[in-house]
């Protein structure tokens, strides 16, 4: 076998590994376990931030960024109404702040907690910002039940696992968790 053939085999192997990785990645992303003892505490803080967003006249969504030592680095509310910004979702606001302050390598070690499953837009921001772990409360499907056809939030029924699993990075997704608590902040808001 010549070195050229070896190289070819190596390329084939890499493709095979990548395909295997993709399969494993999807499996990994669909795994609902992986809840750390502190995850619920941080998630409940994100729910509190969602409540503050509502108090401020915005949609009831909140997100926080936590480092690997359990330190809360950033918190972000939804600002769609007060900023008149259709992209002012909590997770996108958080990722914008995060990428200005931290390197992509550092963000890979952090966890983003969000009151509701990230939409397709925010999942994209999480992907580009390089956060590798996402924990959410209410599912997008659960949110859709609450919002109905409210034109203020025509929920995109596209699971974040589909978006985050379509890239080239392993991103752990945990959720939904404590959906009753996560739904409470929406009570009476949409209809
Ligand atoms: Zn969003």
Phi-psi label, residue 65: left if phi above 0, alpha if psi -120 to 50, beta otherwise? beta
Report the separation in Å between the CA atom of 136 and the middle of ligand 1, taken as the mean of its atom positions.
Answer: 12
Which one, of 79, 86, 83, 85, lies nearest residue 60 by Cα? 79
What pLDDT, in 10s, does the model give residues 67-100? 999 999 999 999 999 999 999 999 999 999 999 9
Residue among 75, 91, 117, 140 flagged as catalytic: 91
> How many distinct helices (H) and strands (E) make up the chain?
8, 5
Contact assessment for residue 152 and residue 27, using Cβ atoms and an 8 Å cutoff: no
Question: What tokens were used for 164?
Answer: 């985050």
Residue 37: pLDDT band (50, 70, 90) is confident
Residue 14: pLDDT band (50, 70, 90) is very low
| The model's pTM | 0.82
Given a cut of 80, is residue 39 above it in pLDDT? yes
Class of residue 60 by CB neighbours under 10 A (exposed 0-12, middle 13-18, buried 19+): buried
Which pLDDT value is given to residue 153?
Answer: 81
- Of 24-38, 127-141, 146-160, which one has max mean pLDDT? 127-141
Report the separation in Å between the CA atom of 124 and the middle of ligand 1, taken as the mean of its atom positions.
Answer: 9
- Catalytic-residue membership of 91: yes
Report the separation in Å between the CA atom of 13 and the middle of ligand 1, taken as the mean of its atom positions.
Answer: 37
Report the separation in Å between the CA atom of 20 and the middle of ligand 1, taken as the mean of its atom positions.
Answer: 30
Report the separation in Å between the CA atom of 5 and the middle of ligand 1, taken as the mean of its atom positions.
Answer: 47
């Amino acid at each position: 076998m010549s070195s050229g053939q070896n190289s070819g085999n190596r390329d084939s192997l890499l493709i095979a590994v990548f395909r295997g990785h993709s399969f494993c990645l999807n499996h990994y992303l669909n795994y609902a376990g992986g809840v750390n003892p502190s995850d619920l505490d941080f998630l409940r803080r994100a729910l509190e931030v969602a409540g503050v967003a509502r108090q401020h006249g915005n949609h009831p969504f909140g997100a926080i960024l936590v480092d690997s030592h359990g330190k809360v680095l950033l918190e972000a509310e939804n600002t769609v109404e007060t900023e008149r910004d259709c992209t002012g979702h909590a997770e996108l606001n958080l990722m914008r702040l995060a990428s200005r302050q931290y390197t992509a390598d550092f963000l890979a070690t952090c966890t983003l907690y969000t009151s509701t499953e990230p939409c397709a837009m925010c999942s994209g921001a999480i992907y580009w910002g390089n956060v590798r772990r996402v924990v959410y409360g209410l599912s997008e499907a659960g949110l859709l039940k609450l919002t109905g056809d409210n034109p203020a939030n025509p929920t995109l029924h596209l699971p974040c696992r589909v978006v985050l699993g379509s890239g080239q990075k392993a991103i752990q997704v945990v959720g939904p968790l404590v959906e009753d608590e996560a739904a409470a902040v929406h009570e009476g808001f949409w209809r």
